[in-house]
């Protein structure tokens, strides 16, 4: 099958990246709205459902190898300290302990951005890796950690971004606390001219808290060296990415590392990179010559494997009397933790509405706390809350309904690049969402609800990338019994990848989903697919699967033509059987074709098509929230969320609903409950468990109505998928905050919206 190498631009992991890779050169035939799709878009139960509920699914933690030992990691007790000495003798002599390693045993290994090290004598946050113990049992390893004595020289520290930006603040790294020494600046038009043109302006400040990914499944790796080759069973969103990072860290060849991940209990961005713990486990395993399982506990997950950075945002906006936006200004800073990362959040303001004059200034600030990592729509979640709150303020000041105000400033092209979108059905999403919540019929004037418990309705808009791109491949094998196996180097991070892959192949080959097995997440076996981040998995991988299946279909028709001695044009493909159009009795099944061809298995490999040039691929949507605020207790109860989005084609109605429900519940927790709390005096995180760190649960879950307005983005790729994982969470907090304002007539500008903030706002 012909393929060519092209360049593509993707938004991924808080960055634009250029990918260069093979694409299918086959001109694809999109699935048109009038095509009678039998499986795609239907609610199909997960093909791995039985494995999961029965406990037979093997997660990283479940991998058991002969002679395997257990490793646990000791973290720093202080937010900033120089280690003077580590005494490991007591730990080493505890029966059952096999090895203890520290920075003294390990050469300095360049890690991300060359600024942090695997083990360093300088620890920069509570929990920073100090030592690792391998023992016969996890219990012994834990006991041994307590026997390690570390002599620290405590250093001055800083744990909030505002303080860290001050000139006399303790430096987290020698190069200073502001990354790059300066802000990220963006502007278009003239912000001064824009504000001069404005009839109404609003200016406000907003803040958001640090939250933790807290996936259900803890971070874990099982590692084994065999004849110089390292195999890592890892809980990861990126098997190939982790393979390459581990190989680089250890200074060995990529082909000497194999990463396997079969099942996973979520990551939300915290498992996009290789963990230091995986490399540490590899080092200790090599030292003792036995397989090692390293596990992080919930406390460590809350300290060192990432978070969503906080934000302080100062926004200003101007509009004409008729609601036309004339100027948008953004200033923000956020804490990235002790090692470099991004905390910017201005993209929604830059790209959501038509506005000629925009300026943004963002600071990424180092502090002595766990490093931030990409977390479900990095930047957009915090940015959308503030910006969509401000847009409501401006609409009110201009005397225009908030939804009408947004429609007034609707843009048909990307305001940043000037390019058109591959598709944008936000108008339809607004319309359907507004109908479902009763925007124009049920929403009352702000603050007008009587009684002590007041209801309100609010909304917010979402823009994100997604859309995926090449390179991504899938290999399809057809057996003589008509069964199909598909392998791809992607991963199912809990989102339903196994199932949509089977569905796409079943649709094309017209066979039941049950005839298809899917195998994912093994870098030694599978063809390459990208990381599962940036909402790009389904939009990158499903087209490659469709391409492989279409090639298989052509191959089968080709084979049937030779076997039946009939021209291809006289053959029809029907439900896995190829028939003579003129004589129904002359037919052959796809399994028989494989047999007759004297091949035990027919193989095709499909590739993702090229993204169209000169277009932006974005997802859009709006969420509408109905809330109830108890003005005596300050409690907010979310009654209903309507999520109306253009996220491209729905592959599986069940798993897309899962993504929306999960994103909205996580967004509700962000809006009302979740917050990492650090004690300024000690630099310690005070709520590192799920008792003190409040996650939203089923108890807080409102009625959720999901409306997907797209029938498929046929310009983007051959399945029309754009992606849903991140869009689902982006507008939730903004919609809830605007609904709270509509209920009580007082705006809460700081997340989470806790009862004390409501009561203070109402009565002080
Ligand atoms: Mo996502 S934050 O790209 O896993």
Over residues 565-584, the pLDDT tens digits come to: 999 999 999 999 999 999 98
**Contact 13 CB / ligand 1 (< 6 Å):** yes
Q: Which atom of ligand 1 is nearest to the CA of 237?
A: 4
As a three-state string, the secondary structure of 349-395 is HHHCCCCCCEEEEEEEEECCCCCCCCCCCCCHHHHHHHHHHHHHHHH
pLDDT at 522: 98
- Which of 215, 309, 376, 468 has the most ligand 1 atoms within 8 A of CB, as the residue to mutate? 376
Dist. CA 271 → ligand 1 center (Å): 8
Dist. CA 158 → ligand 1 center (Å): 28
Residue 109 has pLDDT above 70, yes or no: no
pLDDT at 244: 92
- Tell me which DSSP letter residue 7 carries: E
Cα 92 to chain centroid distance, Å, stands at 40
Dist. CA 46 → ligand 1 center (Å): 22
Can you state the percent helix, strand and coil of the chain, rounding each to 5? 30, 30, 40
Dist. CA 660 → ligand 1 center (Å): 15
Contact 365, 334 (CB under 8 A): yes
**Contact 375 CB / ligand 1 (< 6 Å):** yes
- Across the range 577-604, mean pLDDT stands at 94
Q: Which atom of ligand 1 is nearest to the CA of 272?
A: 4
Q: Which atom of ligand 1 is nearest to the CA of 373?
A: 2
- Across the range 596-619, mean pLDDT stands at 93
Cβ within 8 Å of residue 27, ≥6 positions away: none
Closest listed residue to residue 116, CA positions, set 330, 371, 336: 371
Dist. CA 577 → ligand 1 center (Å): 42
**pLDDT digit string, tens, across residues 290-322:** 999 999 999 999 999 999 999 999 999 999 999
As a three-state string, the secondary structure of 287-331 is HHCCCEEEECCHHHHHHCCCCECCEEEEEEEEECCCCCEEEEEEE
Among the residue ranges 109-123, 259-273, 692-706, 707-721, the one predicted with the least confidence is 109-123
Contact 22, 471 (CB under 8 A): yes
- Tell me which DSSP letter residue 478 carries: E
Dist. CA 363 → ligand 1 center (Å): 21
Closest-CA residue, ligand 1 atom 3, reads 533
Enter the tokens of residue 378: 């990095």
Cα 446 to chain centroid distance, Å, stands at 35
Contact 307, 370 (CB under 8 A): yes
Dist. CA 6 → ligand 1 center (Å): 25
**pLDDT digit string, tens, across residues 440-465:** 999 999 999 999 999 999 999 999 99
Contact 671, 733 (CB under 8 A): yes
Residue 56 has pLDDT above 80, yes or no: yes
**Contact 728 CB / ligand 1 (< 6 Å):** no
Residue 121 has pLDDT above 60, yes or no: yes
- Classify 247 as helix, strand or coil: helix
Distance CA 354, CA 424 (A): 14
**pLDDT digit string, tens, across residues 236-246:** 999 999 999 99
- Across the range 327-340, mean pLDDT stands at 97
Cβ within 8 Å of residue 667, ≥6 positions away: 381, 728, 729, 730, 731, 732, 733, 736
- Across the range 30-47, mean pLDDT stands at 92
pLDDT at 116: 47
Distance CA 366, CA 343 (A): 10
Between 57 and 3, the more confident residue is 57
**Contact 14 CB / ligand 1 (< 6 Å):** no
- Tell me which DSSP letter residue 97 carries: E
Distance CA 223, CA 278 (A): 8
pLDDT at 372: 96
Q: Which atom of ligand 1 is nearest to the CA of 13?
A: 3
What is the number of other CB atoms lying within 10 angstroms of the CB of residue 403? 20
Cα 97 to chain centroid distance, Å, stands at 38
Q: Which atom of ligand 1 is nearest to the CA of 378?
A: 2
**pLDDT digit string, tens, across residues 668-709:** 999 999 999 999 999 999 999 999 999 999 999 999 999 999
Q: Which atom of ligand 1 is nearest to the CA of 726?
A: 1
- Across the range 394-414, mean pLDDT stands at 98
- Classify 454 as helix, strand or coil: strand
pLDDT at 631: 98
Q: Which atom of ligand 1 is nearest to the CA of 12?
A: 3
- Which of 211, 272, 492, 494 has the most ligand 1 atoms within 8 A of CB, as the residue to mutate? 272
**pLDDT digit string, tens, across residues 518-560:** 999 999 999 999 999 999 999 999 999 999 999 999 999 999 9
pLDDT at 2: 66
- Across the range 73-90, mean pLDDT stands at 97
**Contact 374 CB / ligand 1 (< 6 Å):** yes
**pLDDT digit string, tens, across residues 341-395:** 999 999 999 999 999 999 999 999 999 999 999 999 999 999 999 999 999 999 9
Dist. CA 619 → ligand 1 center (Å): 15
**Contact 696 CB / ligand 1 (< 6 Å):** no
Distance CA 462, CA 387 (A): 11
Q: Which atom of ligand 1 is nearest to the CA of 535?
A: 3
Dist. CA 344 → ligand 1 center (Å): 15
**pLDDT digit string, tens, across residues 180-217:** 999 999 999 999 999 999 999 999 999 999 999 999 99
pLDDT at 378: 97
**Contact 376 CB / ligand 1 (< 6 Å):** yes
Residue identified by tokens 């050469």 is 107
Closest listed residue to residue 721, CA positions, set 514, 506, 535: 535
**Contact 494 CB / ligand 1 (< 6 Å):** no
pLDDT at 117: 61
Dist. CA 547 → ligand 1 center (Å): 26
Residue 110 has pLDDT above 80, yes or no: no
Dist. CA 272 → ligand 1 center (Å): 7
pLDDT band with cut points at 50, 70 and 90 for residue 84: very high
Closest listed residue to residue 133, CA positions, set 77, 217, 219, 75: 75
Dist. CA 21 → ligand 1 center (Å): 22
Q: Which atom of ligand 1 is nearest to the CA of 533?
A: 3
**Contact 509 CB / ligand 1 (< 6 Å):** no
Distance CA 283, CA 273 (A): 18
- Tell me which DSSP letter residue 172 carries: S
Contact 273, 96 (CB under 8 A): no
Enter the tokens of residue 194: 């824009």
pLDDT band with cut points at 50, 70 and 90 for residue 119: confident
Give me the chain's average pLDDT, please: 95
Residue 114 has pLDDT above 70, yes or no: no
- Classify 169 as helix, strand or coil: coil
Closest listed residue to residue 628, CA positions, set 693, 675, 672: 672
- Tell me which DSSP letter residue 180 carries: G
Dist. CA 373 → ligand 1 center (Å): 9
Radius of gyration for the chain, computed over Cα atoms and rounded to the nearest angstrom? 27
- Classify 123 as helix, strand or coil: strand
Q: Which atom of ligand 1 is nearest to the CA of 377?
A: 2
pLDDT at 78: 98
**Contact 642 CB / ligand 1 (< 6 Å):** no
**15: phi then psi, degrees, rounded to nearest 5:** -150, 155
**Contact 729 CB / ligand 1 (< 6 Å):** no
Dist. CA 559 → ligand 1 center (Å): 43
DSSP per-residue codes, 629-670: EETTT--EEEEEEEEEEE-B--S-HHHHHHHHHHHHHHHHHH
Closest listed residue to residue 131, CA positions, set 172, 97, 173, 170: 97
What percentage of the chain reaches a pLDDT higher than 70?
98
Q: Which atom of ligand 1 is nearest to the CA of 267?
A: 4
Closest-CA residue, ligand 1 atom 4, reads 269
**Contact 381 CB / ligand 1 (< 6 Å):** no
Dist. CA 473 → ligand 1 center (Å): 21
Dist. CA 224 → ligand 1 center (Å): 28
Dist. CA 112 → ligand 1 center (Å): 17
Residue 234 has pLDDT above 90, yes or no: yes
pLDDT at 113: 38
pLDDT at 105: 83
């Amino acid at each position: 099958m012909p393929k060519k190498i092209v360049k593509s631009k993707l938004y991924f992991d808080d960055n634009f990246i250029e990918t260069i890779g093979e694409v299918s050169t086959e001109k694809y035939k999109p699935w048109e709205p009038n095509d009678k799709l039998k499986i795609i878009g239907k609610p199909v139960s997960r093909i791995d459902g039985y494995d999961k509920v029965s406990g037979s699914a093997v997660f990283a933690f479940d991998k058991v190898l002969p002679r395997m030992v257990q490793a646990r990691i000791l973290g720093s007790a202080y937010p900033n300290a120089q280690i003077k000495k580590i005494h490991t003798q007591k730990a080493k002599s505890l029966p059952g302990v096999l090895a203890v390693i520290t920075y003294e045993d390990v050469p300095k290994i360049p890690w991300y951005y060359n600024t942090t090290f695997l083990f360093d004598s300088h620890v920069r946050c509570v929990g920073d890796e100090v030592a690792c113990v391998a023992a016969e049992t996890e219990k012994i390893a834990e006991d041994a950690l307590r026997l390690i004595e570390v002599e620290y020289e405590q250093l001055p520290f800083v744990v909030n971004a505002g303080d860290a930006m001050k000139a006399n603040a303790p430096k987290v790294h020698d190069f200073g606390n502001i990354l790059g020494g300066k802000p990220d600046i963006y502007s278009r038009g003239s912000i001064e001219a824009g504000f001069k043109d404005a009839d109404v302006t609003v200016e406000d400040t907003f803040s958001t808290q640090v939250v933790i990914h807290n996936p259900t499944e803890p971070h874990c790796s099982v590692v084994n060296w065999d004849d110089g080759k390292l195999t890592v069973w890892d809980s990861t969103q990126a098997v190939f990415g982790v393979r390459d990072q581990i190989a680089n860290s250890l200074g060995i060849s990529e082909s000497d590392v194999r990463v396997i991940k079969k099942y996973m209990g979520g990551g939300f961005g915290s498992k996009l990179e290789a963990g230091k713990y995986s490399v540490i486990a590899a080092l200790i395993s090599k030292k003792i010559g036995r397989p090692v399982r390293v596990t992080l506990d919930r406390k460590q997950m809350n300290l060192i494997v990432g978070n969503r950075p906080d934000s302080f945002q100062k926004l200003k906006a101007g509009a004409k009397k008729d609601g036309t936006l004339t100027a948008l200004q953004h200033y923000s800073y956020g804490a990235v933790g002790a090692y470099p990362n991004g905390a910017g959040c201005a993209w929604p303001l830059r790209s959501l509405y038509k506005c000629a004059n925009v300026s943004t200034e963002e600071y990424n600030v180092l502090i002595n706390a766990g490093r931030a990592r990409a977390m479900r729509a990095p930047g957009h979640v915090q940015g959308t809350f503030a910006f969509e709150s401000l847009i409501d303020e401006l609409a009110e000041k201009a005397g225009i309904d908030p939804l009408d105000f947004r429609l007034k400033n609707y843009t048909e092209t990307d305001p940043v690049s000037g390019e058109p979108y591959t598709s944008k059905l936000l108008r339809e999403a607004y319309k359907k969402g507004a109908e479902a919540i009763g925007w124009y019929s049920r929403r009352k004037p702000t603050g007008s609800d009587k009684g002590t418990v007041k209801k309100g309705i609010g909304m917010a808009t979402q823009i994100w990338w997604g859309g995926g791109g090449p390179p991504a491949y899938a290999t399809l094998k057809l057996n003589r019994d008509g069964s199909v196996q598909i392998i791809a180097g992607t991963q199912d991070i809990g989102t339903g990848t196994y199932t949509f892959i089977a569905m796409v192949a079943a649709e094309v080959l017209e066979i039941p989903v049950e005839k298809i097995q899917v195998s994912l997440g093994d870098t030694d076996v599978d063809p390459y697919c990208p990381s599962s981040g940036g909402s790009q998995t389904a939009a990158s991988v499903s087209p490659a699967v469709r391409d492989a299946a279409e090639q298989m279909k052509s191959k089968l028709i080709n084979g049937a033509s030779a076997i039946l001695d009939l021209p291809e044009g006289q053959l029809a493909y029907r439900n896995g059987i190829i028939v003579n159009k003129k004589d129904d009795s002359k037919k052959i099944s796809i399994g028989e074709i494989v047999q007759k061809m004297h091949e035990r298995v027919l193989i095709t490999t499909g590739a993702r098509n090229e993204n169209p040039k000169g277009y932006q691929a974005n997802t859009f949507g709006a969420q509408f929230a109905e809330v109830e605020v108890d003005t005596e207790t300050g409690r907010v109860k979310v009654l209903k969320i309507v999520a109306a989005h253009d996220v491209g084609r729905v592959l599986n109605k069940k798993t897309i609903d899962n993504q929306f429900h999960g994103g909205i519940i996580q967004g509700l927790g962000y809006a009302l409950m979740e917050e990492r709390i650090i004690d300024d005096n000690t630099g310690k995180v005070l709520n590192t468990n799920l008792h003190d760190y409040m996650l939203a649960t089923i108890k807080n879950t409102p009625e959720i109505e999901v409306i997907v307005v797209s029938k498929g983005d046929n310009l983007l790729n051959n399945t029309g998928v754009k992606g849903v994982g991140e869009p689902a969470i982006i507008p939730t907090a903004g919609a809830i905050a605007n609904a709270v304002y509509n209920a009580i007539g007082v705006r809460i500008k700081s997340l989470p919206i806790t009862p004390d903030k409501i009561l203070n706002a109402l009565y002080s």
